[in-house]
Structure 1
Amino acid sequence: MASGNAIRGSRVGAGPMGEAERGESAPRARISFWCSNGHETQPSFASDAAIPETWDCPRCGFPAGQDRDNPPDPPRTEPYKTHLAYVRERRSDADGEAILAEALAKLRGEI
C-alpha cells in the first residue's frame, strides 16, 4: 500500500492555472500574412506593437506579406558554384596559363 502522505493525482507545482496566477494577458491582434505559395499564417501581436511588413512562412520559408493578392516574391537563390567557377570569374584564361607556367617552372627548378 502507498504511503498515506502522498496526494493522489497531482504533482509538485500542479494547480489551477488561471488569470489570477499568471496575471492579465495583454490585448492581442491576429494578423494574416500570405506567401507566394498561397499559405496563410496568422501570428498574434500585442495590439500596441509595430506590425512588420513581411513575415517568414512557417510552411515553406518564403517571405509573406499582408496583401493576399500581391504577396512578396520568393528570394532568388544563386546556383551552387565550385571553387573553379569563382577562380574563372576572377581570372582570364591567359592569366591562368601564365600562373600555371610559373608554377610548373618553379616545380621543375627553372626559377
Structure 2
Amino acid sequence: MAGGNAIRGTRVGAGPTGESERGESAARERIPFYCANGHVNNTWFAAEAEVPETWDCPRCGLPGGRDSANPPAAPRTEPYKTHLAYVKERRSDADGEAILEEALGRLRAAREL
C-alpha cells in the first residue's frame, strides 16, 4: 500500500543524514584471513591499528592467517578426562590395591566396634 508517509524508515529526532553531518569516517583497510578449511574472512581494521597474526574464522571457528598458501593448523584438542583417568595417571595398579586394602581394613575395623 503506497501511503504518503515521507519519513518512513527513520525515527523522530534522527536529524539529517550524510557524511557532512556525521563527520569523516576513519581510514580503514580490508585484511583477508585464510583458515585451513579454505574459508576467506575479509575483516576491516582501522588503517593505524595493529593487525593480529591470526583471526578466528566466523564460519568454522578455526584460526585464520594472512598467508593463503599456508594457513595455520587447527589447534590440537585434548579429549575430556575424568577424575579417574587423572588418578590412574598418578597411581599404579599396585598403589591402588594398597590404598583399597587400607580403606577396607578401616571399614572392617569400624564394623567390629
Count of matched residue positions in the alignment of Structure 1 and Structure 2:
104
Tell me the equivalent position of 2:3.
none
Tell me the equivalent position of 1:20.
20
Work out the CA distance in 1 between the residues paired with 2:104 and 2:66.
61
Tell me the equivalent position of 1:80.
80
Return closer, same or farther for 1:8/1:60 CA change in 2, 3 Å cut-off.
closer
Unaligned runs of 5+ in 2: 1-5
Cα distance, 1:11 vs structure 2? 3.3
Tell me the equivalent position of 1:102.
102
TM-score scaled by length of structure 1: 0.84
Q: Which residue type is aligned with residue 89 of structure 1?
A: E
Tell me the equivalent position of 2:34.
34
Deviations 1:42-81 (A, max 9, x none): 1101111111110010111110001101000000111121
Verify: 1:59 aligned to 2:55, yes or no: no
Work out the CA distance in 1 between the residues paired with 2:13 and 2:106.
76
Identity, in percent, stands at: 68
Work out the CA distance in 1 between the residues paired with 2:104 and 2:92.
18
Work out the CA distance in 1 between the residues paired with 2:50 and 2:86.
42
Cα distance, 1:8 vs structure 2? 6.7
Deviations 1:9-56 (A, max 9, x none): 453333333223322111000000000000000110111111111001
Q: Which residue type is aligned with residue 47 of structure 1?
A: A
Q: Which residue type is aligned with residue 98 of structure 1?
A: A
**Runs of at least 4 residues of structure 1 off by over 3 A?**
7-11
Work out the CA distance in 2 between the residues paired with 1:72 and 1:16.
46
TM-score scaled by length of structure 2: 0.82
Unaligned runs of 5+ in 1: 1-6
